[in-house]
Structure 1
Amino acid sequence: MKPAFADPEARREFPEIDQLARDTFGLTADEAAQIPDPEGWDGIDIKSMRDQADQFEREGWDVTDDKRRPLRILGHFSHPLWLALRGVAGTLPFAPEPDATDPALTSLAAEAKAFQRDKR
């Protein structure tokens, strides 16, 4: 990654940043900025990148590097991700399909029950 990608103005110079955001979340950072905050919005998208990374982690999203620092380009993607994550606009990538099977009926659960009954 080019270090210049992290600059807030980089989206003008590198249109691939906006294209990646659109492909991944269904909207760009500029489009996300045009969407009015819903009632009760906590302003998470304007907090520090560290605070956002911590909150993303609580939501099940790792947006840090291998040293646990927020990604340098997080500023380009955090607002679209927050909107998608909270169901306001856009889409989430890699969202798991709802589990149609009852976990209690899996073979692992059945084996666990059999193990618990076995009193040898």
Structure 2
Amino acid sequence: MDRPPALRRLFDLPGVSDLEYQAILKRDFAEPEARAEHPAIEACSVANFGLTAEQAEDHPRPANWDRPERLPIPAQVAAFEAEGWDVTDDKRRPLRVLGHFNQQLWLAIRGVAGTLPFLPDDDRPDPWGSSLAAEAKRFRKR
């Protein structure tokens, strides 16, 4: 039985969790204007996607571009999941800083501009397999 591939989490990218924490503490940190005051937002964007939010806004879109970055946030969450990305927190709420990164992520996912960050494969053992192995070991001892 094949498991569906795990979603890649925006929250797990370097620097995003720190920015999300700041957005929890200070509500206006999630607003687009915060990028001018907080260079860490743009630095995180460049480090993870290879371009800033402004560069993403200015980048030309292909003729068939359906403008997913303009969808309401709940619709974007579902669309990102369809593309293999989880853009929510641990309570399944959209990240407050999603607006700082959604355009870059859309452009990178679709291969238009920027890059997708490398994340190593999850090498944690399958909990089902490990419990079966332990059970088999106990059975052999009987």
Q: TM-score range by the shorter chain?
A: 0.7 to 0.9
With the length of structure 2 as denominator, give the TM-score of the two structures. Answer: 0.64
Q: How many residues align?
A: 97
- Give the one of 110, 120, 124 matched to 1:86: 110
Instruction: Please list every run of 5 or more consecutive structure 2 residues that lacks an aligned counterpart in the other structure.
Output: 1-20, 122-142
Counterpart CA distance in 1 for 2:60 and 2:34 is: 24
- Give the one of 90, 105, 112 matched to 1:66: 90
2:40 pairs with 1:46: no
Aligned to 1:32: 56
Identical residues among aligned pairs (%): 56
Instruction: Please list every run of 5 or more consecutive structure 1 residues that lacks an aligned counterpart in the other structure.
Output: 98-120
Aligned to 1:18: 42
* SS of residue in 2 equivalent to 1:51: helix
Letter of the aligned partner of 2:62 in structure 1? P
Counterpart CA distance in 1 for 2:119 and 2:110 is: 13
Structure with greater Cα Rg: 1
